[in-house]
Structure 1
Amino acid sequence: MGFTIGKKKVSPLTRKFKHLQRYIEIINTLSKYGWGSELIAKTDLHTLFGDRFKFGKELVEISKLPEGERIRRAIEELGPTFVKFGQMLSTRPDIVPQELIEELEKLQDEVPTFPTEDARRLIEKELGGSIDSLFKEFPDSPFAAASMAQVYKAVLHEGDEVAIKVQRPGIADVIEVDLVIMQDYARRLKKKQKAEIGIDPETMVSEFARAIRKELNFKVEFGNVTHFDSDYQDDPTIHVLKVYKEYSTEKILTMELIGGVKITDSIKPEVQEQFRIDPKLVASRALELVLKQIFEHGYFHADPHPGNIRVLEDSIICFLDFGMMGTLSARLREQLADILIGVVAKDERKLTRTIISLGQGGQSVNEDELESDIAELIKTYAFGSTLDDFDLGAFLGEISDLITAYDLKGPRDFYLLGKALSSIQGVCAEVDPDLNLMAHAKPYAEQLALERLDPERALKEISSSLVESSKLMLELPYTLNDLLTLVKRGEGKVKFEIFGLEPLIDSLERITDRLSFALIMASFLVASALISIAPMPYAVEGIEVDVVFFFIALAIGIWLLISIVRRGKLK
């Protein structure tokens, strides 16, 4: 039986032995920061590798650190995959305590640069030409580096100054190994602790694997920029990066080199004079652009921190790094509008109904209790409408907590939305603390509410429903006829899905592993016997081959015996 993440399948034997060293590194790192033995006990990892993990005593300095900081340091030490996972968890207030979120937001993925010669070779391989034929100028060192890529300033033969993002060689293999291990741990955690943690860790890791693989494919980011550009072609307040398709692949992304200043530097008088920047206009435009992304386009930049927003001359806004984007359906945008309108109107009943419709699945909801909790939220958040008083991101975080508390399931990008709003809110507050958030957000919410009352839209929806209903009625007799025909022929099939077989499957995997080793041991014994009775002795540098084969078989036999005794199967 294989082990699958996404489309990649790894056999149990390969998983256990190929990644053994990485398993040990991870457990030793976690042990160093205080969780090694507890982690092994919870997930039965000792059954995989016995007592091979070496745990030293916790360092005195580390043991004095707060738990959140120890978690962050451990994640940073474990490398890029775990850093990205920690950053993803920082957007999930529904499952991570606020104090830990604040620590995870500090995660850094700074690593040493890799040699420029490696970058040159990768560029030439991906783009199919020499560096000199591709670029007029190419530097000897990068100007920025991170865990997954580093960036070079270069000049095309046409004279365009560009930034070339080059994927770190071998990073995809490193991430795949870590994903296999994370999924293995999630599977064990799910079996042991699901009742306690209340979430499905396998699903969470699978979603993370999907996201990080998309981030590894620079064609996805290229498509994100292209999509973003199509939404804002006629908007003079924003400049969208130009990307060069002929100089971009899955591992190389070439974009125009952007000048300007970081948005939070726009409050400096010398910057305002040099670039003709009005900080109040900058804050207003940045907030308007993010709200427009959310409410009008349903396609938003999910990481608008200060480093990802540049301000060009005349207060033009430019977003950087399109690796992480969020998507909101039309229905979800309308529900978000209902939430804002409910807050402004202090209508807890409207908010209650919206949250119930926002959640998916789960048990029946006690609406009276939920409405009471929402009334408390409104008292906390609805009074005061400046950025200092109304934290929209935190409010959506509270909504997320309610969705979780009442066993509902929120949309995938809802948590990402709260993170993006909190981020842009903090940025704008730093540039213009007096900016009125609700004054900007309310018109978008009201417009969405009015669009639902548009007679033309209502007619289109009714017409679409009638068309679908007529199709269903026309196809229903044929579908029933096909079903009855299958039943008459005895070809009808019912699919059953049986749960709770994981222990049996694990046992079968162990049995398969041991049978494989037993066959290998038998092969060495037979080979040893045949060689020993051969007319001509076989030896390599004086060492008899049959003796070597015999001791190999003996070692495998001893290993199998110890493994069986350790599991208590030989009594």
Structure 2
Amino acid sequence: MIVETTISVILFVPTMVVTVWFFAAVIRRLLGVRLGPVRTILAAVLVLFATPPILQALAPDDPATLSSGEALLLGLVGVVIAALLAMVALVILEVLLPTGSLPGPVELWRGAVRRLARIRRYLTITRIVLRHGLGRFLRGRGDQGPTSAASRRRLGRSLRMALDEGGMTFVKLGQQLSTRRDMLPAEFVDELTTLQDRAAPVPWVEVAGVLAAELGRPVEEAFAWIDHEPLAAASVAQVHAARLPDGSEVVVKVRRPGVATVVERDLDILERLARTLEARTAWSRAFGARRLVAGFAEALREELDFTVERDNLQAMAAALAASPDRGVRVPAPYPALSSERVLVMERLPGTPLGSAKPLLERLGDERRAALAAGLLDTMLDQVLVHGLFHVDLHPGNLLVADGGSLGMLDLGSVGRLDTASRLAVGQLLGALGRGDSVAVSDALLQLVDRPETIDERELQRALGALIVRYAAPGSTAGATAVAGLLRTFTSYGLGVPPAVAAVFRAFATLEGTLALLKPGFDLIGYARSAGGRRLAEALGPDRLPGTLQEELAALLPVLRRLPRRVDRIGEALEQGRLRVNVRLFADDQDRQLVTGLLHRALLTVIGAAAGLMAVLLLGMGDGPRVTDGLGLFPLLGYCLLVVAVVLVLRVLVVIFRRD
């Protein structure tokens, strides 16, 4: 008896496995789509457990009266009905929980831990927001915000204090917002510019651990000497002075341990918050909260990866080497000693510009003016020629050497301009040099994203008025001019691409740096004359032949293909074979619109069909008995009626919902 039971169990298990596998394969084949293995196996198990009750309901009271053929047919019908029920359950489950939407057990546990940490951070941020009186701006009410300068200043102060209390990621966000004068009032910008990225130094033991892990050897082998006290400590990294075994003086930039985890958690919260705000509030949609957070997240992740700054240093050094020597340089990195968390670079001699007043006074006015002009020319070369420029050249990122040379620091985030944008900026400077307001307007319009409808003539008048006000000879309102220009863009619905906004930001920041190098330096006037000079150089007799050759070289392939194409068009037109192919629904918005309409129509048809079938089944009597008090036809009829009501309600919600 024990042996027979053991054999039965041994045979039952593989039989069940083979049966479940067979039903799972049949179900996936019939549906014609690939479904998750777990839910497909569950559907097959459902077939096995549902078949006996269905057979019992379909069989007569005395199963012995059935012939072998009738029993086989009855079993086949039961299996088919059970398989249909399993497939219906699969489709409903796929609608409610698509394949891949539920994580596995390990990922589910990790997700729960991350979710718990996120909730705690949410609560902390919410308390900070409410404590500083910003809660009303998170609700979807029609609050127009402050209308006076004093109220905007108070609100800007509350925002600055909340961001400062929120921690490193939010401080960085506030610093980026302080550069977007096209998006924020001046009172907000003034408050946010006071945010300081500061942090307590990391103990040397932790720094040494990071260095040893990244360098793959003890710190004493990589450096002949390294100062355990940092030169500077910020929220992302801290910098230590060091000396290599060959005697080279270097600085070592080390990312703070655990900062990447904190940043990713806060960025996730910011992205979720931006989505929620855009769904609930009008001001965040106009502000472009999601786009702003996405750009900020990309820039902050680049700042965390020191290989990006290493590559930027090398690219900037190559750009400076290809330009005339104007006494500006960047530190050379040591790629063999650098990684994602550690950056070793040359230590440039000099004093930060913010504390170099005694040194500048010894240089004299003439040398200081030359330094300021050289720095501005270097920035123009970066923007117009190389398309790679320093976006945040504030006094702390500029060193002044005893000999009068300049060193640029902190290239973790640089701006990049494509060829078309560089050409438009060059045309803008050339038009400023000529005083041509129409050409200035045309150049500016090439730099921004234009809406579908715009009063171009009125925009040109507004831009012309700005040019007369700020770009006239003798005007020195550089940052004010940039702020006025960006506000004009915003008022006319013009979108400023991030790369172009970085150009304006770079020159607005550079104005304060130039003012420290040489008080009273006319950035607008020098840029205007430099633009005219560069345009004259590009069109000069010595450059004109080369320019013509370049243009002809680019145009020659088109000219060679033109006669053959004209001949083909003429031949097709003569023989009546000329056709124009138009690609329908090439735009994503068109495809989304048509797909949405088709989905609504399909849901309506399916809902109507299900309702009609439900009425027919409910009017056909009980049919086969499922239980003593329940027939098969009413059961199916009521199920289809529920499906019809759900589908119709879903269509109605989509129709009547106001976005």
Instruction: Tell me if 1:29 matches 2:128.
Output: yes
Shift of 1:469: 8.0
Instruction: Tell me if 1:428 matches 2:428.
Output: no
* Alignment match, 2:299: 211
Instruction: Tell me if 1:457 matches 2:550.
Output: yes
Shift of 1:351: 2.3
Write the letter of the residue equivalent to 1:250. Answer: E
* Alignment match, 1:232: 320
Matches within 5 A, 1:287-306: 287-306=376-395
Shift of 1:451: 3.8
- Quick one: distance in 2 between partners of 1:287 and 1:190? 40
* Alignment match, 2:192: 104
Q: Which moved more, 1:196-205 or 1:370-379?
A: 196-205
Shift of 1:159: 1.2
Change in Cα spacing, 1:277 to 1:251, as seen in structure 2 (3 Å) is: farther
Change in Cα spacing, 1:459 to 1:202, as seen in structure 2 (3 Å) is: same
Change in Cα spacing, 1:287 to 1:451, as seen in structure 2 (3 Å) is: closer
Residue 251 of structure 2, aligned match among 151, 163, 168: 163
Matches within 5 A, 1:64-75: 66-75=154-163
- TM-score (norm: length of structure 1): 0.72
* Alignment match, 2:468: 379
Q: Which runs of 5+ in 2 are unaligned?
A: 1-97, 102-106, 143-150, 573-580, 597-659
Residue 272 of structure 1, aligned match among 362, 366, 381: 362
SS at match of 1:184: helix
Instruction: Tell me if 1:137 matches 2:137.
Output: no
Question: How many residues are matched?
Answer: 464
Residue 424 of structure 2, aligned match among 335, 340, 347: 335
Instruction: Tell me if 1:307 matches 2:359.
Output: no
* Alignment match, 2:653: none
- Quick one: distance in 1 between partners of 2:469 and 2:164? 36
> Any idea what the Cα deviations from partners look like across 1:121-171, whole Å, max 9, x if unmatched?
010001100111111112232121000001111111111121100001010
- Quick one: distance in 2 between partners of 1:338 and 1:99? 32
Contact 1:76 1:107 in 2 (8 A): yes
- Quick one: distance in 1 between partners of 2:284 and 2:326? 52
Contact 2:433 2:532 in 1 (8 A): no
Matches within 5 A, 1:523-534: none
- Quick one: distance in 2 between partners of 1:401 and 1:113? 40
Shift of 1:20: 0.5
SS at match of 1:185: helix
Write the letter of the residue equivalent to 2:486. Answer: S
SS at match of 2:348: coil
Q: Which moved more, 1:276-285 or 1:360-369?
A: 276-285
> Any idea what the Cα deviations from partners look like across 1:329-361, whole Å, max 9, x if unmatched?
222222223323333433332222223222224
* Alignment match, 1:413: 499
Shift of 1:284: 2.4
SS at match of 2:281: helix
Instruction: Tell me if 1:447 matches 2:531.
Output: no
- Quick one: distance in 2 between partners of 1:28 and 1:458? 61
SS at match of 1:150: strand
Write the letter of the residue equivalent to 2:125. Answer: I
- Quick one: distance in 1 between partners of 2:491 and 2:365? 49
Write the letter of the residue equivalent to 1:497. Answer: Q
Change in Cα spacing, 1:277 to 1:391, as seen in structure 2 (3 Å) is: closer
Shift of 1:239: 2.8
SS at match of 2:592: coil
Write the letter of the residue equivalent to 1:314. Answer: G
Write the letter of the residue equivalent to 1:324. Answer: S
* Alignment match, 2:625: none
Contact 1:290 1:300 in 2 (8 A): yes
Instruction: Tell me if 1:185 matches 2:280.
Output: no
Contact 2:365 2:518 in 1 (8 A): no
Change in Cα spacing, 1:264 to 1:118, as seen in structure 2 (3 Å) is: closer
Residue 413 of structure 2, aligned match among 324, 328, 338: 324
* Alignment match, 2:311: 223
Change in Cα spacing, 1:172 to 1:466, as seen in structure 2 (3 Å) is: farther
Write the letter of the residue equivalent to 2:301. Answer: R
- Quick one: distance in 1 between partners of 2:389 and 2:154? 35
Change in Cα spacing, 1:264 to 1:37, as seen in structure 2 (3 Å) is: closer
Identity %: 28
Contact 1:259 1:312 in 2 (8 A): yes
Contact 2:153 2:188 in 1 (8 A): no
- Quick one: distance in 2 between partners of 1:470 and 1:496? 37
Residue 17 of structure 1, aligned match among 90, 112, 116: 116
Change in Cα spacing, 1:309 to 1:269, as seen in structure 2 (3 Å) is: closer
Write the letter of the residue equivalent to 1:118. Answer: E
Shift of 1:301: 0.7
What CA RMSD, in Å, does the superposition of the two structures yield over aligned residues? 3.9
* Alignment match, 2:592: 497
> Any idea what the Cα deviations from partners look like across 1:296-323, whole Å, max 9, x if unmatched?
2221111111111111132111101111
- Quick one: distance in 1 between partners of 2:236 and 2:347? 20
> Any idea what the Cα deviations from partners look like across 1:181-219, whole Å, max 9, x if unmatched?
111111111112247742432122111111111111000
Contact 2:303 2:412 in 1 (8 A): yes
Contact 1:152 1:164 in 2 (8 A): yes
> Any idea what the Cα deviations from partners look like across 1:99-123, whole Å, max 9, x if unmatched?
1112111111111111110110010
Contact 1:302 1:325 in 2 (8 A): yes
Shift of 1:422: 1.6
Write the letter of the residue equivalent to 1:319. Answer: M
Q: Which moved more, 1:389-398 or 1:165-174?
A: 389-398
> Any idea what the Cα deviations from partners look like across 1:427-453, whole Å, max 9, x if unmatched?
212332343432355334553476477
* Alignment match, 1:395: 481
Change in Cα spacing, 1:265 to 1:18, as seen in structure 2 (3 Å) is: closer
* Alignment match, 1:258: 348
- Quick one: distance in 2 between partners of 1:391 and 1:456? 40
Change in Cα spacing, 1:139 to 1:72, as seen in structure 2 (3 Å) is: same
Matches within 5 A, 1:16-95: 16-36=115-135, 38-39=137-138, 66-95=154-183
Contact 2:326 2:378 in 1 (8 A): no
> Any idea what the Cα deviations from partners look like across 1:526-554, whole Å, max 9, x if unmatched?
xxxxxxxxxxxxxxxxxxxxxxxxxxxxx
- Quick one: distance in 2 between partners of 1:321 and 1:471? 54
SS at match of 1:255: strand
SS at match of 1:19: helix
- Quick one: distance in 2 between partners of 1:317 and 1:408? 37
Residue 449 of structure 2, aligned match among 348, 356, 360: 360
- Quick one: distance in 1 between partners of 2:290 and 2:373? 41
Shift of 1:266: 4.6
Change in Cα spacing, 1:244 to 1:441, as seen in structure 2 (3 Å) is: farther
Contact 2:430 2:531 in 1 (8 A): no
* Alignment match, 2:577: none
* Alignment match, 2:63: none
SS at match of 2:370: helix
* Alignment match, 2:603: none
Change in Cα spacing, 1:181 to 1:100, as seen in structure 2 (3 Å) is: same
Write the letter of the residue equivalent to 1:123. Answer: L
Shift of 1:96: 1.1
Shift of 1:326: 0.9
- Quick one: distance in 2 between partners of 1:196 and 1:18? 26
> Any idea what the Cα deviations from partners look like across 1:2-31, whole Å, max 9, x if unmatched?
99xxxxx99986664341100001111111
- Quick one: distance in 1 between partners of 2:452 and 2:181? 21
Shift of 1:292: 2.0
Q: Which moved more, 1:10-19 or 1:297-306?
A: 10-19
Change in Cα spacing, 1:338 to 1:116, as seen in structure 2 (3 Å) is: same
